[in-house]
């Protein structure tokens, strides 16, 4: 059994092939064009660029694995969540997709909350109205682009556009649908009340499946463009967060992941939907049938370090220092960065502030501070923001028995140790952390009968490589720094008013 996982990310599309033991045989990535930002806070991409990348990544991955198309047993899909792909009656894209990080819908979120009431909105969807979600984007398009909206006959999420290209089917999964604000998360179905509020015909929405269920098969046309065999089953898959959690074995209550990519996510599996009355964390269906999850999101986690490196450390004649060099400089400075604090609000913030207008800040600079201090403050500030989510989990009595680290941040031993110290608990990294594409491949294996359940697939395939334990001295220093960090947002908000 050979399985393909395909991740339609923000910066590129990644293909991974695994075998029946969960071993990675090959992986390949094709870059996307940078997302466009026609106005401040906007973020758009052309779905055709995702498909172009898929038709490059898939054959590259098969070639690296030295596999024939006939050897692939199933395909699983994952990708960036929340994006609005609007299609006409002929399945042509009506406008560029509005992405997860787009912030243009603040007024629509405010109006929606006023119309339904914050408590009723959480009762219906398990989540508040946030600018990143799909429904506010639909409302924005209805209001600001009525001529374009009049042509729309269906809407899809990013990975589901790729499904349409692969299979001709319009479908999604319960985990990705949970992030639209059109989904009844508790009952795992589209919400009739929310589609009514959106003045959206139910026929515009794709069929919804549990993540391991088969939704279609590779078409003749897609086979010609990707090198896959016609007829290969394609399972529903999941949004990138749920698929990434499957790939890390976060499938039972008590298991938690902290993932640092462009954004940062703290993700906990739960046996029932757990709602935060204040809406600070998301409650979504899990990719594991009959399970849910909660997660807190930091909008600009890895992006904080990338922004600092690319915008402030590189010039036309001077290349930016490597990430390894920067983290080595940070490692030479003490825990707490000698009082320097970073507020990672470069893209507004979700958890816990729900504020699209939040802005980043570097606070406490002195002549004594070096570049290494600044880098350490950025790394610590991101970890502090993730700790905010763990604090909310504790308030809601969500169990945390183990924490696994993922994303690019998990490749930095310094950042891993820093998280152990800030969370004051052991954290672990995995042998093969291939991201959401790996989880999508595991879901495909369950869908085609290779494993009896998602839990069993993870038990057999996911292995811990290294553990990091907290250091008591650093824990004490960082606890004091976290208390100072907690006072940053209220102070910055006052300044912005």
Quote the CA–CA distance of 236 and 273 in Å, as a whole number: 21
C-alpha to C-alpha distances, 287 to 54, 248, 296, 425, 467, nearest whole angstrom: 22, 12, 17, 27, 26
Q: How confident is the model at residue 432 (pLDDT cuts 50, 70, 90)?
A: confident
Residues 93-99, mean pLDDT to the nearest whole number: 98
User: What confidence tens digit (pLDDT) does each residue in 18-62 have?
Assistant: 999 999 999 999 999 988 999 988 999 999 999 999 999 999 999
| Residue 34: DSSP 8-state | P
Q: How confident is the model at residue 361 (pLDDT cuts 50, 70, 90)?
A: very high
Per-state percent for the chain, helix, strand, coil, to nearest 5: 40, 25, 35
Instruction: Return the residue matching tokens 């950042």.
Output: 415
- For residues 271 and 253, the answer to whether their CB atoms sit within 8 Å is yes
* Domains, in order of start, for the chain: 2-248 (3.30.420.40), 302-429+466-496 (3.30.420.40)
Write down the pLDDT at residue 356. Answer: 85
Percentage of the chain lying above the pLDDT 90 cut: 92
Helix (H, G, I), strand (E, B) or coil at 198: coil
Write down the pLDDT at residue 34. Answer: 86
- For residues 414 and 341, the answer to whether their CB atoms sit within 8 Å is no
Instruction: Return the residue matching tokens 């979600």.
Output: 133
Helix (H, G, I), strand (E, B) or coil at 18: strand
Quote the CA–CA distance of 73 and 322 in Å, as a whole number: 40
Beta strand ranges found along 149-263 (DSSP E)? 154-156, 171-173, 183-184, 189-190, 207-209, 214-217, 233-235, 238-239, 254-260
Catalytic, 324? Answer no
- For residues 140 and 152, the answer to whether their CB atoms sit within 8 Å is no
Residues 476-490, mean pLDDT to the nearest whole number: 97
**Residue 301, both tokens:** 């986690």
Residues 138-164, mean pLDDT to the nearest whole number: 98
**Residue 248, both tokens:** 């890390």
User: What confidence tens digit (pLDDT) does each residue in 295-316 have?
Assistant: 999 999 999 999 999 999 987 7
Write down the pLDDT at residue 417. Answer: 98
Instruction: Return the residue matching tokens 């680290």.
Output: 405
User: What confidence tens digit (pLDDT) does each residue in 196-233 have?
Assistant: 999 999 999 999 999 999 999 999 999 999 999 999 99
Q: What pTM, to 2 d.p., does this model score? A: 0.90
Is 90 exceeded by the pLDDT of residue 350? no
- Per annotation, catalytic residue among 240, 276, 388, 421: 240
Q: How confident is the model at residue 262 (pLDDT cuts 50, 70, 90)?
A: confident
Is 80 exceeded by the pLDDT of residue 259? yes
Is 90 exceeded by the pLDDT of residue 496? no
Is 90 exceeded by the pLDDT of residue 386? yes
Is 90 exceeded by the pLDDT of residue 81? yes
Task: Tell me which of 405-419, 424-438, 463-477 is least confident.
Answer: 424-438
Residues 433-439, mean pLDDT to the nearest whole number: 89
Report the length, in residues, of the chain.
Answer: 497
Quote the CA–CA distance of 388 and 395 in Å, as a whole number: 11
The total of other beta-carbon atoms located within 10 Å of residue 255's CB is 22
User: What is the chain's mean pLDDT, rounded?
Assistant: 95
Burial class of residue 432 in the structure, from the number of CB atoms within 10 Å of its CB (0-12 exposed, 13-18 middle, 19+ buried): middle
Percentage of the chain lying above the pLDDT 70 cut: 100
What are 72's strand-pairing partners? 2
Write down the pLDDT at residue 433. Answer: 74
Q: How confident is the model at residue 122 (pLDDT cuts 50, 70, 90)?
A: very high
**Residue 378, both tokens:** 């950025």
Write down the pLDDT at residue 423. Answer: 98
Write down the pLDDT at residue 101. Answer: 87
């Amino acid at each position: 059994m050979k399985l393909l996982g395909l991740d339609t990310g923000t910066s590129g599309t990644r293909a991974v092939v695994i075998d029946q033991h969960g071993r990675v045989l090959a992986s390949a990535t094709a870059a996307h064009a940078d997302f466009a930002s026609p106005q401040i806070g906007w973020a758009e991409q052309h779905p055709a660029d995702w498909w172009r990348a898929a038709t490059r990544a898939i054959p590259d991955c098969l070639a690296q694995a030295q596999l024939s198309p006939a050897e692939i047993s199933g395909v699983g899909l994952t990708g960036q969540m929340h994006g609005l792909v609007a299609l006409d009656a002929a399945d042509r894209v009506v406008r560029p997709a509005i992405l997860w990080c787009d912030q243009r819908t603040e007024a629509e979120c405010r109006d929606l909350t006023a119309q339904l009431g914050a408590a009723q909105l959480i009762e219906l969807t398990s989540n508040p109205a946030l600018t990143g979600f799909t429904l506010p984007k639909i409302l924005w398009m209805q209001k600001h682009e009525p001529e374009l909206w009049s042509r729309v006959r269906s809407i899809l999420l990013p990975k589901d556009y790729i499904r349409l290209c692969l299979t001709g089917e319009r479908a999604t999964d319960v985990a990705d649908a949970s992030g639209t604000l059109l989904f009844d998360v508790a009952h795992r179905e589209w919400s009739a009340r929310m589609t009514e509020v959106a003045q959206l015909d139910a026929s515009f929405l794709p069929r919804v499946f549990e993540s391991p269920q088969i939704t279609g098969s590779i078409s003749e046309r897609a086979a010609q463009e990707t090198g896959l065999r016609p007829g290969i089953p394609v399972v529903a898959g999941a949004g990138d967060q749920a698929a990434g959690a499957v790939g890390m074995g976060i499938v039972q209550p008590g298991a938690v992941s902290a993932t640092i990519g462009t954004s940062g996510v703290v993700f906990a599996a739960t046996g029932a939907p757990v709602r935060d009355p204040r809406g600070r964390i998301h409650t979504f269906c899990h990719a594991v049938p009959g399970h849910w999850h909660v997660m807190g999101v930091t909008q600009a986690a890895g992006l904080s370090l990338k922004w600092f490196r690319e915008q402030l450390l590189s010039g036309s004649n001077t290349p930016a220092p490597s990430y390894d060099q920067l983290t080595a400089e940070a490692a030479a400075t003490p825990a707490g960065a000698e009082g320097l604090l970073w507020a990672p609000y470069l893209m507004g913030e979700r958890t816990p502030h729900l504020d699209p207008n939040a802005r980043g800040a570097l606070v406490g600079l002195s002549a004594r501070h070096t570049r290494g201090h600044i880098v350490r403050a950025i790394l610590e500030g991101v970890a502090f923001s993730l700790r905010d989510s763990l604090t909310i989990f504790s308030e809601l009595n969500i169990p945390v028995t183990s924490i696994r680290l993922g994303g690019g941040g998990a490749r930095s031993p310094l950042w891993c140790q820093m998280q152990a110290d800030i969370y004051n608990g052991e954290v672990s990294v995995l042998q093969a952390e291939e991201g959401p594409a790996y989880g999508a491949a595991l879901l495909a294996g369950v869908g085609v009968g290779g494993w009896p359940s998602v839990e069993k697939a993870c038990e057999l395939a996911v292995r811990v490589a290294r553990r990091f334990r907290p250091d008591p001295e650093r824990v004490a220093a960082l606890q004091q720094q976290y208390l100072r960090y907690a006072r940053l947002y209220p102070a910055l908000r006052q300044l912005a008013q």
